[in-house]
Chain A
Amino acid sequence: MGVNGVNQVISSHSSLLLRSVAEELKLPLLQIGREAELQNLTPQDTKANFKLIQTNADMALLLVDSYLLGLELNEAQAELMLEPVSLSGVLNDAAHTLSQFAKQYNATFELASSGRYRPVMAHPAGLRAALLSLGYALVSVPPAESRRQVLLGVHQSSRGLVAGVYGDFETLAHIHLRQARLLYGRAKQPFRALLGGSAAGVFVADVIFQAMHSNLNVSHHHKQAGLAATLRPSKQLALV
Chain B
Amino acid sequence: MACILLLEPDVILSNIYTEVLQQAGYDVCPTFDAQKAINTADECSPDLVILELQLPVHNGIEFIYEYRSYTEWEKTPVIVQSFVSPNEFKSTPYIWHELGIVKYFYKPHTSLQQLLAGAQEQLTTIAV
Contacts of A52 in B (CB 8 A): 12
- Asked if A27 is at the interface of the complex by the 8 Å CB criterion, the answer is yes
CB distance from A85 to the nearest CB of B (A): 32
Instruction: Contact check, A42 vs B112: say whether CB atoms are below 8 A apart.
Output: no
Instruction: Contact check, A41 vs B16: say whether CB atoms are below 8 A apart.
Output: no
Residues A139-180 near B (CB distance < 8 A): 140-143, 171
Contacts of A29 in B (CB 8 A): 108
Chain A 116-152 interface mask (CB, 8 Å, partner B; 1/0): 0000000000000000000000001111000000000
Question: Considering the chains assembled together, what is the distance between the CA atoms of A213 and B9 in angstroms?
Answer: 34
Instruction: Contact check, A34 vs B112: say whether CB atoms are below 8 A apart.
Output: yes
Residue ranges of B at the interface with A (Cβ–Cβ < 8 Å): 9-13, 16-17, 19-20, 23, 32-33, 52, 54-57, 59, 83-84, 107-108, 111-113
Instruction: Contact check, B111 vs A37: say whether CB atoms are below 8 A apart.
Output: yes
Query: Which of A26, A27, A42 neighbours the largest number of chain B CB atoms within 10 Å of its CB?
Result: A27
Residues A15-48 near B (CB distance < 8 A): 23, 26-27, 29-31, 34-35, 37-38, 41-42
CB distance from A26 to the nearest CB of B (A): 5
- Asked if A188 is at the interface of the complex by the 8 Å CB criterion, the answer is yes
The answer to whether A189 and B54 touch (CB under 8 A), given A37-B111, A38-B16, A41-B112, is yes
Instruction: Contact check, B107 vs A30: say whether CB atoms are below 8 A apart.
Output: yes
- Please give me the 3 A-B residue pairs with the lowest Cβ-Cβ distance, nearest first: A142-B32, A142-B9, A196-B9
Pull 5 A–B residue pairs with CB atoms less than 8 Å apart, ordered by A.
A37-B113, A42-B23, A105-B11, A143-B32, A189-B54
Number of A residues contacting the other chain (C-beta, 8 Å)?
30
Chain A 70-112 interface mask (CB, 8 Å, partner B; 1/0): 0000000000000000000000000000000000111000000
Instruction: Contact check, A38 vs B20: say whether CB atoms are below 8 A apart.
Output: yes
B19 (CB) vs chain A CBs: closest residue: A38
- Asked if A61 is at the interface of the complex by the 8 Å CB criterion, the answer is no
Question: Considering the chains assembled together, what is the distance between the CA atoms of A189 and B20 in angstroms?
Answer: 28
Instruction: Contact check, A188 vs B12: say whether CB atoms are below 8 A apart.
Output: no
- Asked if A195 is at the interface of the complex by the 8 Å CB criterion, the answer is yes
- Asked if A197 is at the interface of the complex by the 8 Å CB criterion, the answer is yes
Question: Considering the chains assembled together, what is the distance between the CA atoms of A171 and B113 in angstroms?
Answer: 37
Question: Considering the chains assembled together, what is the distance between the CA atoms of A195 and B55 in angstroms?
Answer: 7
The answer to whether A196 and B55 touch (CB under 8 A), given A30-B107, A31-B12, is yes
CB distance from A139 to the nearest CB of B (A): 10
Question: Considering the chains assembled together, what is the distance between the CA atoms of A209 and B84 in angstroms?
Answer: 30
Contacts of B32 in A (CB 8 A): 142-143
Contacts of A23 in B (CB 8 A): 83
CB distance from A28 to the nearest CB of B (A): 9
Given B16, B56, B57, B59, which contacts A34 in the complex, CB threshold below 8 Å?
B16
Instruction: Contact check, B56 vs A192: say whether CB atoms are below 8 A apart.
Output: yes
